[in-house]
Amino acid sequence: APAGDVAAAGLVDAAHPFLGAAVPLADGQGALLTGRLSPATHPWLTDHTVMDTVLLPGTALVDLALRAADEVCCDRVDELTLGAPLVLHEDGAVQLQAVVGGADATGHRTVGVYSRPETADSAEPWTCHATGVVSVAARAEQEEPPSGPAAWPAPGAEPLDTGGAYERLAGLGLGYGPVFQGLHGLWRRGDEVFAEVRLPEETAVAGFGVHPALLDSALHAIGLGGLLPDAGRARIPFAWNGVSVHATGARTLRVRIVPAGADAVALDATDEAGRPVARVDSLVLRPVSARQLAEAGRAHGHQDPLYRLDWTPLPLTPEEPASRPDGQWTLVGGDDGLRAALEDSGLDVGFRPDLADPAGGAEEEAPAVLLATVDVRPDRDHPVAHVHATAHRALDLLQRWLADDRYAGSRLAVLTGNAVAARGRGEEDRDKEVDPAQAAIWGLVRSAQSEHPGRFVLVDLDRDPASARALPALLASGEEQFAVRGGTVLVPRLARTEHPLVPGGAGPVFTTDGTVLVTGATGLLGRHVARHLVTRHGVRDLLLAGRRGGAAEGMAALEAELTALGARVTVAACDVADREALARLLDAVPDGRPLTAVVHVAGVTDDGIFTGLTAERIDRVFRPKVDAALHLDELTRDLELSAFVLFS
């Protein structure tokens, strides 16, 4: 914010890229610095990801602590322990606060860095990302700032290869974009590591002590230089001790890093002339896990909004006369149960077998609403074929309706049974099992509705006469999709939901001790899913299936990438719509690492307009979608799966 604005509010310009204003506390006991941070205002921050999550780097938190210290004339961060990572979301901003307290008897002050989502209401707590102590550096340290080696590269230091360094780090889950890819030279001499780091030319450094991306780049030398044991694990800063900055505005650093106890290093940074820029007495780095990051994202209150479908009772006014067809209602098709319910409802309903033969001859004026069902005799032994046959019949009905000019001004109300799991909020599932064939009718009719507004209505009806009695009123309501249960009319509404993968935080959904099958893993989303399962859920055994298997382009690279992340990957060529082939695939899963989850991503698209759809095209799309889902369900029903995920 411009300084003028903040002055009017009784504040001073904080002169830091992340902070808008500073205010000294009236009791002389410290200061508060506030700001706002988002990928939109600081796009370069998205160049820093840990396991696909954008995190504010620990070097930025220490820079904020130094800036807060400066507000009360301190120049040293004695210690700063990092707590919850500050996760940045693409579409969200956070409010920032850096708080520095009053001086104790020895001149030390507490410091803390906090954030909360900008959208938070005032009661929402702040998340603490770092706490520590700041002070004024001892005079000796001020007068004798450490300096780097006179000669550069340091005499006797062996150059290390930095080629592919950022690919290697990416393999550990540490993703660095251009601003953070600052490591340009790396040397080792005994247990000392030397690094040269640089910012891209256009990066603005004003306001920072040391630009966080520059200091972060220096830390890349720790892992790449092999300074800490277990170099194969992603580590991020955990605790800073004795941090001071001697010169601001650096764009290049020469850095010397040495071990400083278990999991810790000490770091001296100079400019190209060997003049001191910054010093860190000790930095402890800790391995980071996907779980911690997921928790951080949640603790931070931000969640991409997720929705569930609720079935909400629709208050109906008594039927309006205009909605009623003059005289009789007509039902095309329908089984005995439905006919009985309609007859018992007191509605005057006529029945006829097919759309083609109007009850009263060709001249009969078309009704405002015609009721119809899609009747295919259920085939319990061949549920897959039954879904296909039902979809074909529905397509035929709808296309004939659209093509018949007599009905151009009419609405077709398609009646189904158990096509949807209509469930009101907080209620028991009032439905029997959803019938996939009836559900397929909904899928088709909904497509037709979007292309032919006002021509179709969907009503999932139980066999209660009270439900049938609600038909006139619901058809007058202007809504297009209904479920009617025991006379109560329900309509679908989207509602915000909790994250389904962390139900009450009750443990991981994808367990790390079993095999997860990803179908369609050769495709665009399947690859993302596979990667996501490994980096975010810690899945260790993956079975990746697609018809082409390993022959699909890029599969070898994906396999190598996931293997480098520590996963055991099996790539299989399998048509998952082929029940026997799928059964063989599942049988081959080793007993020691049994199948614990299925993510069914496989699918083919064949998009077109509704009137151009054919039974053959439906079959082609249904094979991986419907057939495979039913087979997967059937073949894994007796297994203890923690997740069965379907892509729509």
Instruction: Pick one of 325, 490, 624, 632: the residue that binds ligand NAP (CB under 6 A).
Output: 624
> Is the preceding omega at residue 508 within 30 degrees of 0, hence cis?
no
Nearest distance in Å: CB 588, ligand NAP:
15
Of the pair 438, 519, the CB lying nearest ligand NAP is at 519
E strand map for 10-64:
12-16, 19-24, 31-37, 48-50, 53-54
Instruction: Pick one of 601, 618, 632, 641: the residue that binds ligand NAP (CB under 6 A).
Output: 601
Helix (H/G/I), strand (E/B), else coil: 399 = helix
Q: Which of these is catalytic: 70, 75, 78, 216? A: 216
**Pairing between strand 329-332 and 369-373?**
parallel
402 membership: H or E segment, kind and range? helix 383-403
Nearest distance in Å: CB 618, ligand NAP:
14
* Nearest CA among 557, 222, 241, 612 for reference residue 399: 612
* Nearest CA among 326, 445, 296, 313 for reference residue 374: 445
526 contributes a contact to ligand NAP by CB under 6 A? yes
| Residue 269, number of CB atoms within 10 A of its CB | 27
Instruction: Pick one of 268, 310, 431, 575: the residue that binds ligand NAP (CB under 6 A).
Output: 575
Q: How far is CA 126 from the centre of its chain?
A: 23
Of the pair 412, 629, the CB lying nearest ligand NAP is at 629
552 contributes a contact to ligand NAP by CB under 6 A? yes
Q: Which of these is catalytic: 48, 300, 386, 537? A: 48
182 contributes a contact to ligand NAP by CB under 6 A? no
Which listed range, 143-151, 308-316, 442-450, 516-524, lies at the site for ligand NAP (CB under 6 A)? 516-524
**How big is the chain by its Cα radius of gyration, in Å?**
33
| Residue 495, number of CB atoms within 10 A of its CB | 10
330 membership: H or E segment, kind and range? strand 329-332
547 contributes a contact to ligand NAP by CB under 6 A? yes
Residue with tokens 């940074």: 269
Nearest distance in Å: CB 644, ligand NAP:
15
| Dist. CA 220–CA 235, nearest whole Å | 10
Of the pair 340, 604, the CB lying nearest ligand NAP is at 604
Nearest distance in Å: CB 520, ligand NAP:
3
523 contributes a contact to ligand NAP by CB under 6 A? yes
Nearest distance in Å: CB 523, ligand NAP:
2
Cβ-proximal residues to 364 (8 Å cutoff; 6+ apart), any chain? 358
Nearest distance in Å: CB 601, ligand NAP:
5
Residues 348-367 touching ligand NAP, rule: CB under 6 A, are: none
Which listed range, 26-34, 425-433, 442-450, 542-550, lies at the site for ligand NAP (CB under 6 A)? 542-550
577 contributes a contact to ligand NAP by CB under 6 A? yes
Please count the residues of this chain forming the interface with ligand NAP, following the rule CB under 6 A.
23
Of the pair 255, 572, the CB lying nearest ligand NAP is at 572
| Dist. CA 326–CA 201, nearest whole Å | 78
| Dist. CA 190–CA 618, nearest whole Å | 67
Both structure tokens of 298: 């949640």
Of the pair 112, 523, the CB lying nearest ligand NAP is at 523
520 contributes a contact to ligand NAP by CB under 6 A? yes
* Nearest CA among 70, 52, 144, 75 for reference residue 532: 52
Instruction: Pick one of 49, 481, 488, 519: the residue that binds ligand NAP (CB under 6 A).
Output: 519
Instruction: Pick one of 89, 463, 548, 579: the residue that binds ligand NAP (CB under 6 A).
Output: 548
Helix (H/G/I), strand (E/B), else coil: 81 = strand
Instruction: Pick one of 1, 314, 525, 635: the residue that binds ligand NAP (CB under 6 A).
Output: 525
E strand map for 382-506:
411-416, 456-461, 481-485, 488-496
Instruction: Pick one of 491, 604, 635, 645: the residue that binds ligand NAP (CB under 6 A).
Output: 604
581 contributes a contact to ligand NAP by CB under 6 A? no
546 contributes a contact to ligand NAP by CB under 6 A? yes
To the nearest 10°, report the CA torsion of 428, 432, 434, 437.
Answer: -160
Nearest distance in Å: CB 387, ligand NAP:
16
Which listed range, 209-217, 246-254, 371-379, 546-554, lies at the site for ligand NAP (CB under 6 A)? 546-554
- The long-range contacts involving 629-638, CB below 8 angstroms and separated by at least 24 positions, are 629/600, 630/383, 630/384, 630/387, 630/436, 631/384, 631/576, 631/577, 631/579, 631/582, 631/583, 632/519, 632/576, 632/582, 632/598, 632/600, 635/579, 635/582, 635/583, 635/586, 636/586, 636/595, 636/598
Nearest distance in Å: CB 629, ligand NAP:
10
390 contributes a contact to ligand NAP by CB under 6 A? no
From residue 239, alpha-carbon distances to 41, 48, 578 in Å are 27, 19, 55
576 contributes a contact to ligand NAP by CB under 6 A? yes
Known active-site residue 220? no
Of the pair 194, 622, the CB lying nearest ligand NAP is at 622
From residue 591, alpha-carbon distances to 77, 485, 586 in Å are 54, 45, 11
Known active-site residue 48? yes
Nearest distance in Å: CB 530, ligand NAP:
11
| Dist. CA 409–CA 422, nearest whole Å | 30
Residue nearest to ligand NAP (CB): 523
Residues 221-260 touching ligand NAP, rule: CB under 6 A, are: none
The 8-class DSSP code of residue 526 comes to H
Nearest distance in Å: CB 564, ligand NAP:
22
List the catalytic residues. 48, 216
Contact residues: ligand NAP, CB under 6 A: 519-520, 522-526, 545-548, 552, 575-577, 601-604, 623-624, 647-648
